[in-house]
Chain A
Amino acid sequence: MRPPKRATTRSLVLAACWALFAAGPLPAADDANPGRRIDFGKQIRPILSDACFACHGPDAATRKADLRLDLRDEALADRGGYSAIVPGDVEASELFYRITSEDEFDRMPPESHEALTAEQIGLIRAWIAQGAEWEEHWAFVPPTKPEPPALADDPWVRNPIDHFILDRLNQEGLEPSLEATPEALVRRVYLDLTGLPPTPAEVDAYLADERDDRYEQLVDRLLQSPRYGEHMARFWLDAARYGDTHGLHLDNYREMWPYRDWVVDAFNRNLPYDQFVIEQLAGDLLPYPTRDQLIATGFNRAHVTTSEGGSIEEEIYVRNVVERVDATGTVFMGLTVACARCHDHKFDPISAKDYYSLFAFFNSIDGKPLDGNAKAHPPVIQVPSPEQEAERARLDEQIAAISGRISEAVSAIEYDPAGDEDRGEYVRRGDFVWVDDALPPGAKPSAEADWSFEAEPNHPVFLGEKAHVRSAEGQSQHFFTEASQGLLVGEGDTLFAHVFLDPLNPPKEIMLQWNTGEWKHRAYWGENLIDYGADGTAERFAKGPLPTTGEWVRLEVPAAEVGIAPGTTITGMAFTQHGGTVRWDAAGLRTWTPQPGKTYTSLAAWVRDQKILGDKSGLPGPIRAIVEKAPGDRSDDEAQQLRDHFVRFAYAPARSTLSPLLDELASAESARKTLEEAIPTTLVWKELAEPKPAFILNRGEYEERGEQVGRATPEFLPELPDGAPLDRMGLALWLVDRSNPLTSRVAVNRLWQQVFGTGLVKTSEDFGSQGDPPSHEELLDWLAVQFQDDGWDMKTFMKRMVTSATYRQTSRTTPELNTRDPKNVLLARGPRFRLDAETLRDQALSVSDLLVEQIGGPGVKPPQPSGLWEAVGYTSSNTAKFKADSGRDKVHRRSLYTFWKRTAPPPQMTTFDAPSRESCTVRRERTNTPLQALLLLNDPQYVEAARGLAERTLREAGPSADERLTHMFRLATARHPESDERQELLAAFDEVLASYRGEVEEARALIAVGETQPDPAFDPAELAAWTIIANTLLNLDEVIVKG
């Protein structure tokens, strides 16, 4: 079938307007004049691609009549007495007959709404007449460096960029614009290189600088600012589809911000672009990769992933790999390789085989496709801070030292098991006290404050040194869970605890609860007031009246009564009461089952118990094996190991020496574990030892494997460079090899787009035949080769752009120019477009002096309206509920650091066209909507910024309203207000001030908005009135726009 076509139906009205606009910069009717040389690449290929390639192009599966029009030999081939195209002979060319035929069966393209226009037909006629010259698609031919057009000494020209631009303007009969005012230029270049506006002091310093190269000096300074890397990074993070959540289904937190920080750092240290590509695609394959180079490989891990229940692993595996291939195509090659996933590409010569040969580079990661909803979806690496590294070394040392002391102590203990080998104790039931003066090892208390262990003489104690006590009104309890040494319940065992009820303040009810992973086992004494569990079941078992008060009473509960079966391990207990004062002591189990933590005086008895415990002994494997052997079968070494283990953990006389040491070790190990958990991780690439096989997947379906394919670059592009390995490293080297026609062009075009608003190739994601042709092909090639000649130096490239006369022009336009070149393709004026979401917010925080300039770290959550995550979040997702951060170091950071939940991204960003980061984006749209107006006017962060700007003005400017207005205006726009502007704003100020004087509470309400509170030294009415003026200024078109 034919692919769908864009709607190209024109109304008559449009056609009538044709003449009015026809003088536009792009090829128009006039080009059909046979006298003028037709350019195949610019004028003919786009027509053929749009109208013909779908059926007569690279895709073999859908090709009709076995005719290809994307290859010259095929189009000219003899087809049995006729040819599709006969160079120089329009009438003999079947193609021309077909596109002009009146016969509906012959007419091409077959769908009437796709018919070629008269202009297009004219172009094809002229092209055939001129000899039907073919050329390869421009972007697939490696660029050569054209000589910049020679121009008569033109004082406007500053660098080679200007030669190309001016030459074209001359051809079009247009004049370049004058240079922007110094203030406008300074603001523009600050925003383009740092994403932040200049302060009035910085503008003044520039104006006062008398050096000829003051502008170049400024550019150099800005390129050295750490703000530069932050600004550049955010464009890249769109392309890398970086986010702080997995992006699919549960959309849980994903820890990946070290990658974001790597990108910032890479720009700041001016990592050459070729290296930038290599490290991200194949950093793990570098010899002895650094930690940073491993972090960089996060590029191929940043895509969305899922762990939705029911997912089929193979399907997700394929999706993950496909995402990496598509991103590589878009970001590095400017190619829409995704089309070839299901079939040969219809427009570009990328076959399905090419696609899956690329797939084979990206399919062999050493990790599971499903993310497990874990923040650290393997493979990951740890990224400790220097402080954490030092702490880790210190703890390791400490652990080694304690271990040494333990070994010494074990050796020093005098115990020879040979002496009591035959002292077999018989087995009998006994009390095993589990909770006495402290919680069992590993237990997590409900809250530290809940547990109150008290000693004599102020409190009665039943056993040991202390008892725990609680006084309460109504229902109350303390409990613990997750004891590492649980109670092992055996047949016929009885649970017990000792209780002392205060005779002066007795409770109405007491309850004991045992946790076996869940709270379902309870017994109570007294009134039935405590509402846990279903009444009359083992979840709430009645034991009768309260025990006598004023003395210790032993409570006993057969485990079976509360539904605890033999073989169960109890890991928690709760002591619950309704009112009164209750003391508890010595709780445990009467059992003959050996309990963890029990001590012994003979190895033989211990060994016997370990055998009874079997699987539950918790012994390390080698020790367990020795235990199982008959004493006579143990080697000397084994006997020694067994003895040492016993002495270390269970020999009663050694406890006083070893227990404190073991506690010390446990506490150091626990600190080590806590530290490990606090160390950030980041997703990286780790290659499998053996690559996974790759197959062509028919129609892109994961189940439909076709031919197996190996790793290879697309056939129509150059081969891997000599000696390059056949892996991602080879692919990366191939991308940045001089023979690659795409990489450099695609990269410089994106940087151009960033600064000028539109790329030289407008479709910066598609350099294929369906993409837009370059507006200045020679300039693009010159820039691409120069970029390589400069060693892929990005700062040099940025400097070249922003120091060109082209960049420095005023952005002022005229109605004539708006008509001739509305999108400023020809660059007869400077760039002018609305700031991106991040820059808008950062600018507001910056001019208000609120911005906290701290680089890097975990994503932060400035406030956002309530309910945005809850409305969509999977209820059990760990990002289902949004809780704003507090503290200026969290809420006033650059927007780059805002936490990015991909299924509900921050509205401050998406309202201004930021992508969701669910898929790779190299070009943002720019819209203009009332929702944007509401946000800039009313979002509390912007209101706070307006107040901050007002406060700053009151602090920094002179006392008169005029001085204040001027300062505030300069902070917002970088220029001085003109007199009518001043009048308008001062009049507004007076009116608003008068109203706030009458309603000071209203004024106070306004200035209280935000994370910070206003300086009480300021008069609230005055501050509020200035806040209104600041809010107005921050909404000015001039401030919202980079002009």
Chain B
Amino acid sequence: MDPILERIQTMTRRHFFGRGAVGLGTAALASLLPDRAARATGADQGRPAVSPGGLPGLPHFAPKAKRAIYLFMSGGPSQLDMFDYKPTMNEWFDKDLPESIRKGQRLTTMTSGQTRFPIAPSRYEFAQHGNSGAWVSELLPHTAKMVDDLAIVKSINTEAINHDPAITYICTGHQLPGRASMGSWLGYGLGSMNENLPSFVVMTPSWTGRQDAQALYNRLWGSGFLPSKHQGVRLRTDGDAVLFLSDPPGVSSTHRRRMLDSLATLNQKHFDEFADPETQARIAQYEMAFRMQTSVPDLMNLADEPKHILDMYGPDVHKPGTFAYCALMARRLAERDVRFVQLFHRGWDQHGNVAGDLPKQCKDIDQPSWALVQDLKQRGLLDDTLVIWGGEFGRTIYCQGGLTRDNYGRDHHPRCFTVWMAGGGIKPGVVHGETDEFSYNVVQDPVHIHEMNATILQCLGIDHKRLTYKFQGLDMRLTGVEDHGPVPALLA
């Protein structure tokens, strides 16, 4: 890489909040950054523009979505009980999964020792909805109302069959720790659009299904080999919303302002003597920290939300930390131009007791997910906000543990599962991909998780092959080395 480009990237990368170009040190460099005001006038229509803090040359083409919200269902939601309708399975109740379907493919060691693989048909009613005629089960009555806003992909597949590797794979492109997460890639490539909030925000809402839930890992929103400023910032509902946001007890904002003034004065003097541009950058970071102390509480304060909006998200919206609350928060973040918001909802690992736990999980997320899409839509934000809903894999048609018509368990199933996408860049009212009658193998239009991720990047104006970072001698990217690309059928 040529030294100038690299230098500029290093310097621009350094700025978590993008336009904090105050104190970049070299005037020449400042002039390289696009003028935000000019872009705001619409002068950049259709022309790729560099966001503050992003890489030169990005986005690679005009983005359809400026930001994305990823509703992640951790544990492996059962496609069979929610989206992938398999009516003939009723006749297969408690019969063995034919070997012609399984084809000796590997299973987790939780069920590979079972002597039988009896079919567990879904106990839930399905119906067709909207103009697209998409099948949705009774567990998701609100989602069913908006199928014409969604692209439902029934043929997503992955290779990983256990949680840790699978969720790490879909979130970072690799089954082992050490890589950068999707949100950190977006911040690295596209920079930030809000100078007072992080560009990648994560929330971990509560759940009501199986309480013994699968773990999450900081690496799912970590920056891996990318600079750590790109790591997701977890918005908390206990204690400070952002770590260490509050001034210590006994320190008033007058004190804090006085301190920052002294700091700036002394640091400026130090800069005058040592001429290190980092010193000026640091002055700017402290000022941004001060601004965050206002902008974050403002974000978290729901007092300005009218009742009809709160009602859309359902009664849980009043309980901080619930999925409904976090979904509303996601909309507020999108409104503030936060690039990437990711919610990790746990409790979807139904090895047993589908009937007891799955309805609770669905109730947690159904109305809020619908409300989020509708809320974005009515504000015109859905046009340039991409919303994604899905987990790390699906579940098996065959039963794990005891089987009755009314209750059953399902093991992990990587070969097909369902994800929906909506909003900026996505063709609405689409059902993509088909699975066999057992929802075991994809029979039409398979979409690998790398292809799904490439599609997400595409919506955001990124050629997934060209968003790379050199690490350990390789040009690392989110979508792996295989020849996977975006899925044209999903793109608007």
Contact = CB atoms under 8 A, between A and B. Distances in A.
Interface of A: 1, 3-11, 13-14, 17-18, 20-21, 24-26, 113, 117, 247-251, 304, 306, 308-313, 319, 323, 330, 336, 338-339, 342, 347-348, 703, 763, 765-766, 768, 770-771, 811-815, 818-819, 822-823, 832-834, 865-867, 871-877, 902-905, 907, 910-913, 916, 918-919, 925, 927-935, 937-940, 943, 980-981, 984-985, 988, 991-992, 995, 1001-1009, 1024, 1028, 1031-1032, 1035-1038, 1040-1041, 1043
Interface in B218-259: 218-219, 222, 226-229, 231, 233-234, 236, 238-240, 242-252, 254-256, 258-259
Given A771-B473, A865-B239, A995-B255, A1003 B250 contact: yes
A692 B2 CA distance: 47
Contacts of B106: 312, 703
12 contacts: A7-B55, A13-B32, A309-B109, A309-B110, A812-B274, A927-B16, A929-B228, A985-B262, A995-B255, A1002-B250, A1024-B250, A1035-B286
B8 interface: yes
Which 10 A-B pairs have CB atoms at the shortest separation, nearest pair first?
Answer: A1006-B250, A310-B108, A918-B177, A1005-B250, A919-B178, A874-B215, A933-B289, A336-B473, A770-B473, A930-B289
Interface string B22-36: 000110100110000
Contacts of A991: 258
Contact of A1032 (B212, B259, B273, B411): B259
B269 interface: yes
Nearest to A771: B473
B275 A1006 contact: no
A1036 B266 contact: yes
A981 B266 contact: yes
A14 B4 contact: yes
A310 B110 contact: yes
A872 B250 contact: no
B346 to A, nearest CB: 9
B473 A339 contact: yes
A1020 to B, nearest CB: 10
B434 interface: no
B309 interface: no
Given A866-B239, A903-B217, A1032-B263, A1 B229 contact: no
B475 interface: yes
Contacts of B204: 871-872
Contacts of B109: 309-313
Nearest to B245: A934
Contacts of B2: 117
A910 B176 contact: no
B467 A905 contact: no
A6 B473 contact: no
Nearest to B237: A867
B215 A347 contact: no
Given A823-B7, A871-B216, A903-B218, A4 B465 contact: yes
Contacts of B211: 875
A696 B98 CA distance: 33
B286 A1006 contact: no
Interface string B134-173: 0000000000000000000000000001111000000000
A439 B79 CA distance: 54
A871 B234 contact: yes
Contacts of A871: 204, 216, 234, 236
A937 B244 contact: yes
Contact of A1028 (B56, B227, B255): B255
Given A17-B28, A310-B412, A330-B472, A930 B286 contact: yes
A336 B474 contact: yes
Contacts of B238: 866-867
Given A312-B109, A1028-B259, A931 B16 contact: yes
Contact of B164 (A13, A249, A814, A905): A249
A311 B234 CA distance: 29
Contacts of A323: 176
Contacts of A338: 472
Contact of B275 (A24, A818, A935): A818
Given A249-B215, A310-B161, A1041-B278, A929 B56 contact: no
B5 interface: yes
Given A5-B466, A903-B217, A931-B242, A938 B247 contact: yes
A818 B277 contact: yes
Contacts of B404: none
Given A310-B110, A903-B218, 9 more contacts: A6-B470, A9-B57, A14-B4, A336-B472, A812-B274, A865-B240, A912-B228, A913-B227, A1036-B267
A834 B278 contact: yes
A443 B236 CA distance: 44
A1 B467 contact: no
A938 B239 CA distance: 13
B56 A11 contact: yes
Contacts of A928: 14, 16, 229, 278, 281-282, 285
B483 A1 contact: yes
A826 B381 CA distance: 50
Given A4-B466, A113-B466, A770-B473, A1036 B7 contact: no
Contact of A865 (B233, B244, B255, B481): B244
A770 B227 contact: no
B270 interface: yes
Size band of the B side of the interface? Answer: 35 or more
B274 A765 contact: no
Given A10-B56, A874-B213, A918-B219, A933 B285 contact: yes
A766 B471 CA distance: 9
Contacts of A877: 215
B288 interface: yes
A903 B215 contact: yes
Among A4, A18, A338, A919, residue most surrounded by chain B Cβ atoms (within 10 Å): A4
Nearest to A1004: B250
Contact of A1038 (B55, B213, B270, B467): B270
A313 B109 CA distance: 9
B58 interface: yes
A742 to B, nearest CB: 14
B228 to A, nearest CB: 5
Nearest to B13: A927
Contacts of A20: 28
Contact of B233 (A308, A703, A931): A931
Among A342, A931, A980, A988, residue most surrounded by chain B Cβ atoms (within 10 Å): A931
Interface in B468-489: 468-470, 472-475, 477, 481, 483
Given A11-B57, A336-B474, A348-B473, A1006 B251 contact: yes
Contacts of B7: 21, 822-823
Contacts of A834: 278
Contacts of B162: 249, 306, 308-311
A14 B6 CA distance: 11
Nearest to A905: B218
A1007 B211 CA distance: 41
Interface in B434-492: 465-470, 472-475, 477, 481, 483
A26 B270 CA distance: 29
Contacts of A931: 16, 198, 229, 233, 242-244, 289
Nearest to A903: B217
A872 B215 contact: yes
A202 B167 CA distance: 52
A988 B275 contact: no
Contacts of A905: 218
B92 to A, nearest CB: 24
Contacts of B213: 874-875
Contacts of A330: 472
Contact of B274 (A10, A336, A342, A1043): A1043
Contacts of B470: 6, 770
B3 A24 contact: yes
A371 to B, nearest CB: 12
